[in-house]
Structure 1
Amino acid sequence: MVTDKKRNLAAKILIFIILSIFSIFCVAPFFFLLVSSFKPGSEMIRNGISLNPHFELWNLNNYKLLYTARDGIYLYWYRNSLIITLLYTVLSLFFTSMVGYGLAVYDFKGKRLIFIIVLIVMMVPVEILILPLYKLSISLKLIDKYLGAILPSLVSPFAVFFFRQYAVGLPKDFIDAGRIDGCSEIGIYFRIMMPLMKPAFGAMTILQAMTSWNSFVWPLIVLRSDNMLTLPIGLQALITPYGNNYDLLLAGAVMSVVPIVILFLFNQKSFISGLTIGGVKG
């Protein structure tokens, strides 16, 4: 008995050490980014990557530069990313959840075929679709507009699959009870089933928001003017063969992480619950 306790304690200590090492490797890059953002960009060029804080060099000039450099262009990038991410996340959750719910709950002709198509589209590389989507965007006059960056990837096959897998495990008795009470199918979904899918919504809110916030290739193609660029494209534009503006780049990179961190902190319970529960249902 004592031996088993010692083995369990040793295993827990070993797991703790391993996870601590992985945590350090994950946190170290962001710590370097955060520390460097308070120091002059010349320090990055002079000393390279350094985790030494050098508190005597700290100042807020880099963050002030975000509001003044190139007539405050960074703020336009930030605004564009926020608008696109907000619209994309809300609309994507609305449509993908309804599609996933429909595939899980209702029986209709072609249901299996549609689900197979969803699985096939998940395996198709995005690069293959860029050219036809670009031509379609030109035809619909969506170039250099928010909708042009949002619509092509609005209904994510992964999100449809996730919601479908989660909805399969929901109790159908609630649906029958709603129908007996005279509730419409739309009413059953919004009033009864959607609250039950809250963990799934929590998980997909973070994943879809991160997907949109970090999106680079497609916005780079459809967004043309400087004032319409998103943060990933704008920050990438600061890196040139003729010199990099590390003062603006480092501070801008730190600020770009803030919305996702806030979103996760307020939604982490639903995120973890949605991934763990949704992963075993169906």
Structure 2
Amino acid sequence: MSVKQVKLTVVVIILAFFAFFALAPFFFMLVSSFKPGDQIIKNGISARLDLDIMTFKNYKTLFTERNGIYLYWYKNSVLITTIQTAVAVFLSSLVGYGLAVYDFKGKNILFVLVLILMMVPIEILILPLYKLSITLKIIDTYAGVMLPFIVPPVAVFFFRQFAVGLPMELIDAARIDGASEFGIFFKIMMPLMKPAFGAMIILQAMFSWNAFVWPLIVLRSNENFTLPIGLASLITPYGNSYDMLFSGAVISVVPIIILFMFKQNSFISGLTVGGVKG
């Protein structure tokens, strides 16, 4: 075996080791989702496949218990994630593109502000955002969840770094041909930025889908809860619905897995190309 093959084998073993530890919690959760809640409490979370007690009853209960409240949580998460991801990625791409391509007064100051916002923890912004949400009367609404993060600074920074590496000669040629600035962006630059869009769609969708702190503060009614909040509400001092919790958690990861399967090439390309050009 050559030295190159040995190195490759070592890398594969190391990656497989990390992949095992990354997937192990999900496997434990998947196995537990087929066990009755009392068995999970009695024996704890384990990877033991006991076929005598494993059943699909938990998944049936998930859609029938509490008048099918899980479906409301799922619908809320899907709608919020879809709308917020689409709007956030689109607006962030415009801002990032503008900071990369155009020269205007205050451009560097705006970029510094974007960097500063990236370093500010969400916990510091919760109180002013909450007071603003009350003033705008968007508490317990989809808008209250989405509006404060509709233009994420991380996405703006990513698109700006990617757009810096775009060929400016195409912009000059399009202007000579009489194309408008929006036409240049939508017809020429946006197709070139597909890898960046693919990466940001996945990252933004994961952020929106898994968001917990802010939706927990702004949402009040049980019917408007998103999946993270709804699943967390199953654990209470008065009783724990482990059967719904584990089966609901398993189904909750399906949309993100499907999204990544369709966008994984763009995701990897966007991160690598953006990192090199940045």
Question: Shorter-chain TM-score: which interval?
Answer: over 0.9
User: Is 2:220 aligned against 1:220?
Assistant: no
Across the two proteins, how many residue pairs are aligned to each other? 278
| Residue of structure 1 equivalent to 2:159 | 163
Matched to 2:69, the amino acid is I
Cα deviation, 1:205-242, whole Å, max 9, x if unaligned, reads 00000000000010011110010000000100101233
Mapped partners of 1:243, 1:12: distance in 2: 50
| Poorly superposed stretches of 4+, deviation over 4 Å | none
| Residue of structure 2 equivalent to 1:137 | 133
Mapped partners of 1:191, 1:75: distance in 2: 39
Mapped partners of 2:44, 2:62: distance in 1: 22
User: Is 2:142 aligned against 1:146?
Assistant: yes
| Residue of structure 1 equivalent to 2:196 | 200
Mapped partners of 1:277, 1:218: distance in 2: 32
Matched to 1:260, the amino acid is I
Structure 1 position 18, deviation (Å): 1.3
Structure 2 gap segments, 5+ residues each: none
Structure 1 position 153, deviation (Å): 1.0
Q: Could you tell me which of 76, 89, 92 is aligned with 1:93?
A: 89
| Residue of structure 2 equivalent to 1:77 | 73
Mapped partners of 1:192, 1:10: distance in 2: 45
| Residue of structure 2 equivalent to 1:127 | 123
Structure 1 position 60, deviation (Å): 1.4
User: Is 2:206 aligned against 1:210?
Assistant: yes
Higher alpha-carbon deviation: 201-210 or 62-71: 62-71
User: Is 2:10 aligned against 1:14?
Assistant: yes
Matched to 1:93, the amino acid is V
With the length of structure 1 as denominator, give the TM-score of the two structures. Answer: 0.96
| Residue of structure 2 equivalent to 1:104 | 100
Structure 1 position 40, deviation (Å): 1.2
Mapped partners of 1:131, 1:115: distance in 2: 25
Matched to 1:55, the amino acid is L
Structure 1 position 167, deviation (Å): 0.2
Structure 1 gap segments, 5+ residues each: none
Higher alpha-carbon deviation: 264-273 or 173-182: 173-182
| Residue of structure 2 equivalent to 1:238 | 234
Structure 1 position 149, deviation (Å): 0.2
Mapped partners of 1:154, 1:105: distance in 2: 22
- 1:280 match: secondary structure: helix
CA RMSD of aligned residues (A): 1.0
Matched to 2:261, the amino acid is L
User: Is 2:256 aligned against 1:260?
Assistant: yes
With the length of structure 2 as denominator, give the TM-score of the two structures. Answer: 0.98
